[in-house]
């Protein structure tokens, strides 16, 4: 990346310090010390790895949080040189001294080193979270049926502008609330089912730019829309239903899905998860679900629904550090839909911004107009009001991290 590119790509405000796990009592501290080891234990429990891999994972668990950050050792991995650069400034630090987002991205990458994901052998390209991802789909078939039926009726009634705006707005909300289901936080226990609703009272949306976005999108004609995708499972169904509506109504000529290049954050979606999900839908007994799946298969075959993987999405970098090529690719979009909490954190560099800082002031670098659909699952925020910051803690002490509150934040293009 050329120096001047970095200048172009930074927020227009002084940049605060990064969130760190060392902050006692923080959710970051709890995640590093408690949740990450639990996730590694569950990887052992849910896969029948040989003893050597189980031992690799136990070594990783024992390292957290006081072990030292070290270079990766899976020499065949395509991202090894990138990670050597990411790790350099933090070598010798422990897991709490490094930025929280780095610790998490590094942790999920260490899981793949431990399971020999990038190495020739019987575990190459085996997704250690496959079971959770499939459960996340199979246990939500009722909610999938409801959302498919809504999408079908929305497409059929896409006649006048008001109807289109309302339908788009409801699909946008459904796509937001799909983010509440997150397997890194709430794994689906054996035999349990993850209760999902794709609707929720408006009052739980802390910033709601739906009207602005709907006004813009209903006047689109055959444009390009991009999703920076988050979780597989029910959340991905929300993405696919919204994409289906945009494509069937020709608001979008083409939809690009930006996906993870390898397994990360337990449930984050890769191309193979999108294709599996579409096949799952196309084989459903519910006619609305089956028809959705068949339409999506047609879009893929027609080149109107495109899956793009990129190692940047699994890197520990802030979004203002994206490679020039990817930045140029995203400038072609008329609207980018940024999904989930981890991506939201990256849009603001996972830093200690005042929660009232205008979101568009931090994200003025973004390559295209975008909307963030995020349920709050970490202690960062932007664009909130001082009244909200006074009221929310009384309403819900865990409002920043329990995924029960959301934002639909739109930022238009600045340059």
Q: Which segments within 261-385 are labelled E, that is strand?
A: 305-310, 335-339, 370-375
378 binds ligand F1X (CB under 6 A): yes
Site for ligand F1X in 227-256 (CB under 6 A): 230-231
- Nearest to ligand F1X of 262, 295 (CB atom): 262
Query: In the bound complex, what is the minimum distance in angstroms from residue 182's beta carbon to ligand F1X?
Result: 4
Of 152 and 345, which CB lies nearer to ligand F1X in the complex structure?
Answer: 345
Instruction: Encode 76-90: b = buried (16+ Cβ within 10 Å), e = exposed.
Output: ebebeebbeebbeeb
Least gap, CB of 180 to ligand F1X (angstroms)? 8
Beta-carbon contacts of residue 172 (< 8 Å; ≥ 6 apart): 210, 213, 214, 242, 371, 373, 408
Least distance between ligand F1X and beta carbon 375 (Å)? 6
Number of H helices and number of E strands within the chain?
Answer: 17, 7
Contact 176, 230 (CB under 8 A): no
Which residue in this structure is represented by tokens 């960062």?
380
What three-state secondary structure class fits 181? coil
Sheet holding 252-260, edge to edge: 205-208, 406-411, 370-375, 335-339, 223-228, 252-260, 305-310
Interaction mask 330-349, ligand F1X, x per CB under 6 A: ----------xxx--x----
- Kindly indicate which of the ranges 176-184, 201-209, 283-291, 303-311 contains the residues binding ligand F1X, using the contact rule CB under 6 A: 176-184
Count of residues that interact with ligand F1X, criterion CB under 6 A: 15
| Contact yes or no for 348/362 (Cβ under 8 A) | yes
Task: State the binding string over 94-133 for ligand F1X (x if CB under 6 A, else -).
Answer: ----------x-----------------------------
Binding test (CB under 6 A) with ligand F1X, winner from 9, 87, 137, 185: 185
Of 260, 284, 270, the C-alpha closest to 343 is 260
Q: Cβ closer to ligand F1X: 164 or 377?
A: 377
Stretch that binds ligand F1X, among 179-187, 200-208, 317-325, 406-414 (CB under 6 A): 179-187
Q: Which is nearer to ligand F1X, 119 or 404 (CB)?
A: 404
Q: By CB under 6 A, name the one of 20, 133, 351, 377 that touches ligand F1X.
A: 377
299 or 320: CB nearest ligand F1X: 320
Residues, the chain, total?
Answer: 415
For residue 159, the minimal CB distance to ligand F1X (Å) is 35
- Of the candidates 49, 107, 129, 265, which one interacts with ligand F1X according to CB under 6 A? 265
Nearest CA to 318 out of 351, 361, 269 is that of: 351
Output 249 or 375, the one with its CB closest to ligand F1X.
375
Q: How far is the C-alpha of 408 from the C-alpha of 387, rounded, in Å?
A: 18
- Stretch in the footprint of ligand F1X (CB under 6 A) among 88-96, 105-113, 160-168, 181-189: 181-189
C-alpha separations of 76 from 90, 262, 310, 319 in Å: 22, 14, 17, 26
Residues engaged in binding ligand F1X (CB under 6 A): 31, 104, 179, 182, 184-185, 230-231, 265, 340-342, 345, 377-378
């Amino acid at each position: 990346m050329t120096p001047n590119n970095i200048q172009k790509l930074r927020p227009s405000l002084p940049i605060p310090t990064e969130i760190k796990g060392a902050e006692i009592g923080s959710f970051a501290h709890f995640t590093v010390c408690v949740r990450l080891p639990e996730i590694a234990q569950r990887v052992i429990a849910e896969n029948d790895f040989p003893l050597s891999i189980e031992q690799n994972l136990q070594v990783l668990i024992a390292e957290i949080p006081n072990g030292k950050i070290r270079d990766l050792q899976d020499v065949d991995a395509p991202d090894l040189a990138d990670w050597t650069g990411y790790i350099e400034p933090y070598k010798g630090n422990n897991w709490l001294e490094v930025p929280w987002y780095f610790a998490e991205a590094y942790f999920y990458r260490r899981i793949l080193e431990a399971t020999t994901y990038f190495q020739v052998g019987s575990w190459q390209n085996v997704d250690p979270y496959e079971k959770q991802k499939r459960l996340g789909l199979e246990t939500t078939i009722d909610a999938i049926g409801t959302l498919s039926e809504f999408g079908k009726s929305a497409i059929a009634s896409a006649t006048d502008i008001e109807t289109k705006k309302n339908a788009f707005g409801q699909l946008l909300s459904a796509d937001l609330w799909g983010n509440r289901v997150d397997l890194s936080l709430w794994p689906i226990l054996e035999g349990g089912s993850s209760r999902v609703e794709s609707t929720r009272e408006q009052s739980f949306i802390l910033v709601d730019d739906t009207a602005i976005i709907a006004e813009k999108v209903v006047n689109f004609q055959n444009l390009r829309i991009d999703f920076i995708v988050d979780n597989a499972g029910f959340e991905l169904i929300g993405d696919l239903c919204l994409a289906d509506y945009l494509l069937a109504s020709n608001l979008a000529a083409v939809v690009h899905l930006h996906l993870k290049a390898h397994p990360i954050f337990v449930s984050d979606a890769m191309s193979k998860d999108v294709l599996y999900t579409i096949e799952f839908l196309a084989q459903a007994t519910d006619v609305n679900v089956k028809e959705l799946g068949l339409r999506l298969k047609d879009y893929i075959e027609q080149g109107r629904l495109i899956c793009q993987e990129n190692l940047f999405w699994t890197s520990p970098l802030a979004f203002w550090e994206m490679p020039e090529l990817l930045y140029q690719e995203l400038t072609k979009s008329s609207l980018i839909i940024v999904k989930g909490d981890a991506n939201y954190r990256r849009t603001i560099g996972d830093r200690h911004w005042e929660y009232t800082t205008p979101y568009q002031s931090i994200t003025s670098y973004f390559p295209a107009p975008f909307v963030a659909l995020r349920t709050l699952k970490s202690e960062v925020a932007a664009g909130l009001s001082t009244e909200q910051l006074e009221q929310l803690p009384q309403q819900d002490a865990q409002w920043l991290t329990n995924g029960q509150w959301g934002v639909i934040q739109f930022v238009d293009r600045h340059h």
